[in-house]
A and B are shown apart, each in its own frame.
Chain A
């Protein structure tokens, strides 16, 4: 590298890593909770165990990694400057950890006091995060659909947290609110508006870059986000529209849209000229296959009410979405982002290019594919356990083990970063 080249002021590596390193251990907790509770826990979406499991994954695993990734992604992909990233991350992350643990404990043990303590912490942590990120996203001179998807996603996160806090306070104080409708709307904004919108926006950028596919077609990136947002608004209007057919009329196009994204991503992977079969490509394939299965199952749920009447059906949908889609996709993303960040930050020390190790040396490929195989097994067991409660404990153990392995792989990558950094410094290669 040219000795005079200097790198930009991207956030310190500790900013994304403190989120990434915490996330897998929430997955471990979720696995242990399921193994501890056994099959009856999965009888419906309303059991305390399922509510706790859902939030361990949604807030502990997904929100942690997504927040951490945004701190890094915004400067790199859309050229935005997040205000004092270290200060914000050091404040938001511990608050988020604490709020998640309080909420999960409140849901699991039905303790209203814990629930109502969690809500203001979420509002504070996510409120602060949303403001800082939104400012960065609106001030950047960049253009493009990734940026618009990020803007819509951050707005959806705010809606999700507001609705969640409202429900939590209603539960804690015994207020009368339409809890079923609110829960469905909260879920749609969280999974669709925040998580899927963010995944899509990030995919437009990183799928071609890391998986060497052609770019997503312009017509697709132009329409996917706005249509998703419109359909979510229509879905939310079920609070106002007193017609039992309304959710069905909105859900089917929504599920179709979700399948188009999954199908498009699989098609781009399938038609790329240079085939690579790394862990990230496999994670994405698994996530997109789960998304298609989710869309087909969801349509079945609405079109065949006798099947959908089984309360386990929604748990099945949840397993596909949380474990199948998002844990897989996020794992795949981290397996690219972490080695890339290691490389980028080692470069920033100013050492000659030849002294910075290759990205492939940051996490051994066999450790990633091994963990991924265990994750795939865990997802299959989790799905089976919905219908065969006898498998729930085994599924919980497999999921906990897979998340622990992921955590271990990430810790290994951070250690390697430190070793290489110290070596470069000791050799006096930096300036």
Chain B
């Protein structure tokens, strides 16, 4: 199952707050899709340190699709 958070029209830190909340309930095998206009380095650090993997794609309109999932174990 994919949960989508569209952070493009939200003021910081709302996208990060929503993402952290959604990570709390993210089951293994599910993923979280975050849409932003920037690269959220502070979030990447949180993900790195807490056992999440992500990949990032840049759309032509400048939107970054950040797909996050929990690493097994």
A344 is an interface residue with CB less than 8 A from chain B: yes
For this complex, into which size category does the number of interface residues on chain A fall?
Answer: 20 to 34
Chain A neighbourhood of B45, CB < 8 A = 7-8
A2 touches B13 (CB 8 A): no
The chain B residue with its CB closest to the CB of A273 is B9
**Residue in chain A with minimal CB distance to B24:** A2
Q: Which residue in chain B gives the minimum CB-CB distance to A217?
A: B62
Q: Are A7 and B42 in contact, with the CB atoms below 8 A?
A: yes
> Hey, which chain B residues are within 8 Å of A205, CB to CB?
38
Identity of the chain B residue whose Cβ is nearest the Cβ of A274 in the assembled complex: B9
Q: Nearest-CB distance from B58 to chain A (Å)?
A: 9
Closest A residue by C-beta to B21: A353
Question: Would A142 and B39 count as touching, CB distance under 8 A?
Answer: yes
Tell me whether A209 and B13 are in contact (CB under 8 A): no
Most buried by A among B11, B36, B62: B11
User: B55 on the interface (CB 8 Å rule)?
Assistant: no
A256 at the interface (CB under 8 A from B): no
Q: When the two chains form their complex, are residues A208 and B37 in contact, meaning their CB atoms are under 8 A apart?
A: yes
Whether the pair B46, A6 counts as a contact (CB closer than 8 A) is yes
Inter-chain contacts of A1 with B (CB < 8 A)? 20-21, 24
A2-B50, A353-B21 are contacts. A10–B37 as well, Cβ < 8 Å?
no
Q: Smallest distance from the beta carbon of A213 to chain B beta carbons, Å?
A: 8
Contact B21 A78 (CB under 8 A): no
A389 contacts chain B at the CB level, 8 A cutoff: no
Measured in the bound complex, the distance between the Cα atoms of B38 and A79 in whole Å is 13
Q: How far is the CA of A4 from the CA of B39 in the complex (A)?
A: 23
Q: Please name all residues of chain B whose beta carbon is closer than 8 Å to the beta carbon of A353 when the two chains form the complex.
A: 17, 20-21
In the complex, A208 Cα to B8 Cα: how many Å?
8
- List B residues 29-46 near A (Cβ within 8 Å): 36-39, 41-42, 44-46
A6 to B39, CA, bound (A): 19
Interface 1/0 per residue, A1-44 and B, CB below 8 Å:
11011111010000000000000000000000000000000000
Residue of B nearest to A79 (CB): B41
Verify if A214 is at the interface (C-beta below 8 Å from B): yes
For chain B, the count of residues having a C-beta within 8 Å of the partner chain is: 24
Please give, as numbers and ranges, the residues of chain A lying within 8 Å of B21 by CB-CB distance: 1, 353
Q: Which of B21, B37, B46 has the most CB of A within 10 A?
A: B37
Query: Smallest CB–CB gap between A180 and chain B, Å?
Result: 42
Residues of A within 8 A of B20 (CB): 1-2, 5, 353
Closest to B50 in A: A5
A79, B44: Cβ atoms under 8 Å?
Answer: yes
Answer whether residue A276 sits at the interface, using C-beta atoms and an 8 A cutoff. yes
CB-CB under 8 A from B23, the residues of chain A are: 2, 5
A6, A209, A359: residue with the most chain B Cβ atoms closer than 10 Å: A209
Question: Which residues of A (215-251) have their CB < 8 Å from a CB of B?
Answer: 215, 217-218
Complex: how many Å from CA A214 to CA B23? 26
Chain B CB count within 10 A is highest, among A5, A75, A343, for A5
Distance, CA A389 to CA B65, complexed state (A): 56
Contact B50 A4 (CB under 8 A): yes
CB contact under 8 A between A215 and B62, given known A5-B46, A7-B45: yes
A79 to B12, CA, bound (A): 18
B28 at the interface (CB under 8 A from A): no
CB distance from A214 to the nearest CB of B (A): 6
Q: A75 with B62: in contact, given A2-B24, A4-B50, A212-B11 (CB under 8 Å)? A: no
Which of A8, A214, A218 is within 8 Å of B49, CB to CB? A8
Cα separation A347 to B13 with both chains bound (whole Å) = 11
Task: Please determine whether A6 and B41 come into contact, CB atoms closer than 8 angstroms.
Answer: no
User: In the docked arrangement, what's the CA distance between A144 and B21, Å?
Assistant: 29
Q: A209-B37, A217-B62, A359-B12 are in contact. List 18 more A-B contacts (CB 8 A).
A: A2-B20, A2-B50, A4-B50, A5-B20, A5-B23, A7-B45, A10-B42, A75-B41, A77-B39, A78-B41, A208-B38, A209-B36, A210-B11, A215-B38, A215-B61, A273-B9, A344-B42, A353-B21
A residues near B (Cβ < 8 Å) are 1-2, 4-8, 10, 75-79, 142, 144, 205, 208-210, 212, 214-215, 217-218, 273-274, 276, 340, 343-344, 347, 353, 359
Nearest 4 A-B pairs (CB), nearest first?
Answer: A8-B45, A215-B62, A208-B37, A79-B41
- Chain B residues packing against A (C-beta within 8 Å): 8-13, 17, 20-21, 23-24, 36-39, 41-42, 44-46, 49-50, 61-62
- In the complex, 28 of the A-B residue pairs with CB atoms within 8 angstroms, ordered by the A residue number, are A1-B21, A1-B24, A2-B23, A2-B50, A4-B50, A5-B20, A6-B50, A7-B45, A7-B46, A8-B45, A76-B42, A77-B38, A78-B41, A142-B39, A144-B39, A205-B38, A210-B11, A212-B9, A214-B37, A215-B37, A217-B62, A273-B9, A274-B9, A343-B13, A344-B13, A353-B17, A353-B21, A359-B11
